[in-house]
Amino acid sequence: MKLLIKGGRIIDPANNLDMTGDVLIEDGLIKAVAPAITAGDDAEVMDAAGLIVCPGFIDMHVHLREPGFEYKETIATGVRAAAVGGFTTVSCMPNTDPVCDNRAVASFVVEAARREGLVNVHPIGCITKGQQGQEITEMAALVEAGCVGISDDGKPVMNAEVMRRALEYALMFKLPVVSHCEDANLSEGGQMHEGYYSTLYGLKGIPAVAEESMVARDIMLTRMTGSRLHIAHISTRESLELVRKAKESGINVSCEVTPHHLTLTDKELAEYDTDYKVNPPLRSLEHVEALIAGLRDGTIDCLASDHAPHEKEVKDCEFNLAAFGISGLETAVPVVFTHLVATGKVDVNTVVKAWTVGPARVLGLDRGTLTPGKVADITIIDPNESRRVDPQQFYSKGKNNPYKGMNLKGWPYATLVNGRVIAWKGQLV
């Protein structure tokens, strides 16, 4: 089995590569990357002229909802959404029902994903049993079952002592602790970012400091324990400053940002459209600008969708009653290409890095590069493809997406896992 991807712009940040050339895949592995490769007659050829050829994109923060919330998403629908969205690997959050706080649930997720056989799925286990924030989980069992990190995503670990012990215990397994930084007392009842627009719209605000105070706490705990901390969906300027300073002083901290926090502001809630209701909330413009700068200068390591699919009923209702979350796997790539790359705000190499080697390093995955010999997980982007977002056409069960109706440019052209094309031009193969 040989496949030659010909004449594309190859971007492989792990190897500092940005050139026009060919990628040869053989038996599911990268065989060669060079300006011009002559393959034998037995090689299938894909013309990639005008396309961007990258290592397979990794979305390290998705909610696949199974087990327990199959009416929101299943592993089967979630991996399909990932594939057409241009992702070859996802790591899924543990706030299912039951939560992924033990070997059995983690094994179930791994096995269910393996049966689908589309994209690589790595579960993230809970920090605490039942996500209750009280007792730390059996991390050895979680790791054995395939977990690549731990997080109580959606529920912050409010007890600093518990967080300290979790960070320490995770050290033994080199597990990143993925922290959803939110002081639940400061954010209680909040519906949107606290600021001018929350005052104007009369919605209870979630102050930026609800995130920042916990980022500060977790960085201090990480400094003390020498552990590895990853800040999930960072959303404020001061959070970013804290991460920047922590990195400068050698603390092992990384962070991710979502496409929506980079491209939408709190102003958009004027019509109380619940598709814009997300946690952390869409922030004001100065935060958005700081996040873009943070992605540009490398303070932000990863892009992640925080794909949070929901059934219609919990979004088609009063704003306060609506669930938080955006079904983002299928628009993450074009949103970033349209609003950040095409506008010149962020260089395409930086974007590719944050979707490949960035998350691969955080999660310790042997993925995210086109180095010969590595698994041929590849994402190919067509930067000129323009399409209107129609959530009803999503593979995801979740149609909750604020980019609905918008024209976006720069869509995934093909997604390859183990050298096999699994999605092509927005459709599963």
Partner 1 sequence: MVFTHRKDLLGLADLSRDDIDTILDTAVPMKDVLTRDIKKVPTLRGKVICTVFYENSTRTRTSFELAGKYLSADTVNLAVSTSSVQKGESLKDTIKTIEAMGTDVMIIRHSMSGTPHYVARNTHMRVINAGDGAHEHPTQALLDMYSIREKKGSLEGLKVAIVGDIEHSRVARSNIIGLSKYGCEIRVVGPATLLPAEIEALGVKKYYDVEEALDGVDVVNVLRLQLERQKKGLFPSISEYSQRFCITHKRLSVAKKDVLVLHPGPMNRGVEIDSRVAESAISVVNEQVTNGVAVRMALLYLMMGGAA
Residue 357 per-residue DSSP state: H
* Shortest distance, position 315 Cβ to partner 1, whole Å: 11
Residue among 199 and 371 whose Cβ is closer to partner 1: 199
**Cβ atoms 107, 93 nearer than 8 A:** no
Residue 155 Cβ vs partner 1, minimum distance, rounded to whole Å? 23
Bridge partners, residue 230, by sequence: 178, 254
CB of 331 to partner 1, least distance (A): 22
Contact (Cβ atoms closer than 8 angstroms) between residue 268 and residue 402: yes
**Cβ nearer to partner 1, comparing 173 with 201:** 201
Q: How far is CA 330 from the centre of its chain?
A: 12
Closest approach, Cβ 269 to partner 1, in A, equals 8
Pick between residue 208 and residue 215 the one whose CB is nearest to partner 1: 208
**Helix axis angle, 285-296 relative to 237-248, nearest 10°?**
30
- Kindly list the residues in this chain that would bind partner 1 in the complex (CB under 8 A): 191, 194-196, 198-205, 207, 271-272, 313, 316-321
Phi and psi (nearest 5°) for 157? -80, 100
- Give the shortest CB-208-to-partner 1 separation in angstroms: 10
Nearer to partner 1, 49 or 321 (CB): 321
Longest dimension (CA), the chain: 67
End-to-end CA distance of the chain: 17
- Token pair belonging to 227: 């552990």
Distances (CA, A) of 90 to 214, 233, 357: 26, 15, 13
Between helices 348-355 and 285-296, what is the axis angle to 10°? 90
Closest CB to partner 1 among residues 199, 249: 199
Positions marked active-site? 306
